[in-house]
Amino acid sequence: MIDCFEPGTANLDERINAASLCQKHGYKIRFRIDPGIIYPGWQNDYADLVNKVITKTTPQNITLGMLRLLPGHFSLIKQSYGNRGRSLCDFPLTVPASDGKLRFDPKQRIQFYSFLIDTLRSFDKRFSIGLCRETPEVCSALKNRFNLNQCNCIVW
């Protein structure tokens, strides 16, 4: 996803190494896995991401979020990314939630978050995990699995 949608930016290993260096200099770090995207093989890729983050750093919190787009975003994606953007436009996003954003089906989002939470908790059962900009339906289904109001957007 970095190669496809963030050309010219640091790769994953460079980002994690930078965070590790900051932490070694005394900074508290947080990670944000957002936007989560479901595609063939996503479990292996996200498990690898979590493994790299957790074995090289000790984040204060990890916030999880999933792809969410307003209907108008599709034309912006096509303008900005050209052919690369078509794959984002092809994801099966459902009817808008109350915020007007199109999202993956709630069952898919719950599956995605459950997988990531289980993967993170396999390293530390007390790990601080937050969800960002998620619907009440999904938050309710996961209410005992993440820390309410622990999103990295919120100062806490």
pLDDT reading at 67 higher than 50: yes
pLDDT higher at 136 or 95? 136
Average predicted confidence (pLDDT) for the chain: 89
Sort 92 into a burial class: Cβ within 10 Å, 0-12 / 13-18 / 19+.
exposed
Residue 152 domain-assigned? no
**What region does 86 belong to: left with phi over 0, alpha with psi -120 to 50, or beta?**
alpha
Q: Which of 61-65, 89-93, 129-133 has the lowest mean pLDDT?
A: 89-93
Please list the residues that pair with 102 across neighbouring strands.
69
Residue 9 domain-assigned? yes
pTM: 0.89
Residue 104 domain-assigned? yes
Residue 50 domain-assigned? yes
Q: Domain containing 39: what range? A: 2-141
Residue 21 domain-assigned? yes
Mean pLDDT of the 130-134 span: 91
When divided into structural domains, the chain yields a total of 1
Please list the residues that pair with 130 across neighbouring strands.
63
Phi and psi (nearest 5°) for 129? -130, 135
CATH number of the domain bearing residue 87:
3.80.30.30
